[in-house]
Structure 1
Amino acid sequence: MADQAPDAPALGSVRTAERPVADQGSDATPAGQPPGAASAVPDRATLRLALVVGGLVLAVLLGFGLGRLSGGGGPTAAGGTDSALADHSHAPGAGAHSHGADQNTAAEAGGLAVSRDGYTLTPLAAEFTAGQAGELRFQIRDGQRRAVTRFAVVHEKPMHVIVVRRDLSGYQHLHPTMAVDGTWSVPLTLPSPGIWRAYADFTAVAGDGRQTATTLGVDLVTPGGYTPRDLPRPATETRVDDFTVEYRGVPQPGLTVPLDFRVTGADGAAPALEPYLGAYGHLVALREGDLGYLHVHPEAELVDGAIRFWLTTPAPGRYRLYLDFATGGEVRTAEFTVSVP
């Protein structure tokens, strides 16, 4: 998802400089000072008032600081930074809820830019021939244009690459390998002409150990005649090979809601689901129009036999969901269109 210097004062502490003052009444005049002159040493009543006011100010500041600490921000356990959903988890049975005004970035779609959060996705080739086996090669570069070579392992992989045509067809979920110079590569075949979108979903590790989770996107081109496919109508059930997959849950703008996916075989019985990428399924959500990429977070275990994810949709619109699940040693993908009013 910083150590304090040894000599630094604790949060909310105040260092004071002290000097000895002769014991005197509140109306006494310090020695050597003419009677009636303004004293540089405050009397006891003034000191008491100053301490009371200072205490109140300190309490307000300390309360604000503690509120900021408890309200989020900073690295998370899974390596995210300042993202409420970098490794967001929920107790089973939790209902729909909002993440608050200070966590709006959690609901923002990613993958809309080639550069974000100080990193740039740099493809080494962006043109492919339709139906011909090729290779996607790219680097992630930092603000000094240096290739990044340190990445955290998230969902069992240091890099997740999602490829889809701009009409949201042809979904592929790939896991490239990295060379010592920071160049990632993975075999890729784009089956039909058109403009395709490639997303790099990763958590970079800086030299000082800071981790930044982000998703970058870039277009890939496959020349040729292109006829966009109409997005299938919204449905809560679909078939993949001999399996039926259905989900329950109602996505709502700005709210995090559970979506439960249940898989049944041709005989109506639930197959034995196998862990995939650290859970019993992996879900990608893409927004129609700008192809915004949404992070969707799974429960590590099945919930009453269903694969549960937590989805936050930032705005109304139509979204395409891609559920990867594994059974019988094979990974399959179930696709859904969801309309968020």
Structure 2
Amino acid sequence: MKRTIWIALALSLVLLAACSKTGGKETSARTDGHGTEHGSEHGGHEEGGGAAAADATRAVWKLSAAKPQAGAVTTVSVQVEDKNGKPVEAFDISHEKMMHLIVISKDLSYFDHIHPEYKGNGRFDIDTRFPAGGEYKLYADYVPKGGSTVTKSEWIRVEGNAAASVPVTPDANLVKAVDGKEVKLSIDGLAAGKDASLTFHIADEKTKQPITDLQPYLGAVGHVVIVSGDAEQYLHVHPTEEKAKGPDAKFMTKFPNSGVYKIWGQFQHNGKTFIVPFVVKVP
């Protein structure tokens, strides 16, 4: 009788252990230094997107010229494929577009946010002009159907006269005047690996009166792109209150590492988009 009880007890313990092991999902994320976690909880995303999504697709970059020339029209093509090399054909719309393409010069002095046209069969094309010779990094953001945001990047070299290099130096004062606007940036929680709150306060440059009629830019009060000084870390951040109209536009993000970062805020007022840049040092 005692032997029967001990056998039953042992079987119960085995079943209990098995249930504990399979009761929750096992998750994993790569830590390759390029930002692989999906950052939707902060209103944005890092380069690489979700680990699973990043592994499931790849971007093949092509330029219309082997040596693109500064000032000349260059067609940039991005072919999105799955892990077997087959075209990814279906994409979700993210902030009114299927793909967001960010173009940044190596010294971070040049910034552009453009939107390639989907040609079908996984291919996106856009014609653009690079302003000067030198190296540029291209970041493509897209969302495979039913998936999460993925970011792929590529360095390219443009022939022609290079612009004078601009050092990436932290701003002593986070106040900028752009297109008749005075923009003040305040950051709460500026530290590596922690949630940081970014607030852009936008007022009229002359009267200092708060601007309360900002217009939606790509479906939101604004967008923020953040890149580390070496262009290896990339964050595309969306606002916490997308329907806000000013004077404050708030964003949440997380700086992955200590170091210098450049921040570009993009907003729209009176039918015109304006971009305001800041450089900060993250402890």
* Shorter-chain TM-score above 0.5: yes
In 1, the alpha carbon distance for the partners of 2:244 and 2:18 equals: 44
- Structure 1 pair 214–107 and aligned structure 2 pair: CA distance change class (3 A): closer
* % same residue: 25
Amino acid in the other structure paired with 2:230 = G
Tell me how far 1:211 sits from its aligned partner: 1.9
The structure 1 segments of at least 4 consecutive aligned residues displaced by more than 6 Å after TM superposition are 71-74
Deviation at 1:134, TM superposition (A): 3.0
Query: Residues 47, 252 of structure 1: CA spacing in aligned structure 2 closer, same or farther, 3 A cutoff?
Result: farther
One-letter identity of the residue aligned with 2:41:
H
- 1:131 to partner: Cα distance: 1.9
Q: Does 1:308 align with 2:245?
A: no
Q: Provide the C-alpha distance between the structure 1 equivalents of 2:38 and 2:131, rounded to a whole number of angstroms.
A: 37
Counterparts of residues 205-284 of structure 1 (less than 5 Å): 205=145, 211-226=147-162, 227-234=164-171, 235-249=173-187, 250-266=189-205, 267-271=207-211, 272-284=213-225
| 2:55 alignment partner in structure 1 | 117
Q: How many Å separate the matches in 1 of 2:70 and 2:157?
A: 9
Q: Is the 8 A contact 1:109 1:314 kept in 2?
A: no
1:140-159 superposed matches below 5 A:
140-159=80-99
Output the CA distance in 2 between the equivalents of 1:83 and 1:62.
28
Aligned counterpart, 2:228: 287
Distance in 2 between residues matched to 1:197 and 1:294, nearest whole Å: 14
How many angstroms does 1:292 deviate by? Answer: 2.1
SS at match of 1:88: helix
Coordinate RMSD, CA, aligned: 3.0
Q: Aligned with 1:129: secondary structure? A: coil
Shift, 1:121, TM fit: 1.9
Change (3 A) 1:84 1:148: closer
Q: In the TM superposition, what is the alpha-carbon distance from 1:116 to its structure 2 partner?
A: 4.8
Give the match for residue 269 of structure 2: 327
8 Å Cα contact 1:163-1:197 kept in structure 2: yes
State which structure, 1 or 2, has the greater radius of gyration over its C-alpha atoms.
1
Whether contact under 8 Å (2:183, 2:202) holds in the other structure is yes
- Aligned counterparts of 1:282 and 1:173: Cα–Cα separation in 2: 10
Which letter does structure 2 place at the counterpart of 1:308? K
Tell me if the contact between 1:202 and 1:213 (Cα under 8 Å) persists in the aligned partners: yes
User: In 2, distance between residues paired with 1:285 and 1:89?
Assistant: 13
Offset, 1:248: 1.3
C-alpha distance in structure 2 between counterparts of 1:279 and 1:182, whole Å: 26
Residues 315-324 or 115-124, more deviating:
115-124
Matched residues in 2 for 1:296 and 1:61: separation?
41
Give the 3 Å change call, closer, same or farther, for CA 181–303 of structure 1 in structure 2.
Answer: closer
Distance 1:64 1:277, change over 3 A: farther
Change beyond 3 A, Cα 1:175–1:50: farther
Q: Which residue of 1 aligns with 2:239?
A: 298
In the aligned structure 2, how far is the partner of 1:240 from the partner of 1:255?
A: 30
Q: Is the 8 A contact 2:202 2:246 kept in 1?
A: no
SS of the aligned residue for 1:339 comes to strand
Relative contact order: is structure 1 or structure 2 higher (C-alpha 8 Å, sep ≥ 6)?
2
**2: CA distance between counterparts of 1:65 and 1:303?**
47
Which 5+ residue runs of structure 2 have no aligned equivalent? 30-35
| Distance change (3 Å), C-alpha of 1:47 and 1:175 | farther
Per the normalisation by structure 2, the TM-score is 0.82
Aligned residue in 2 for 1:78: none
Q: TM-score, normalized by length of structure 1?
A: 0.69
CA distance in 2, matches of 1:180, 1:303: 35
Q: Size of the alignment, in residue pairs?
A: 266
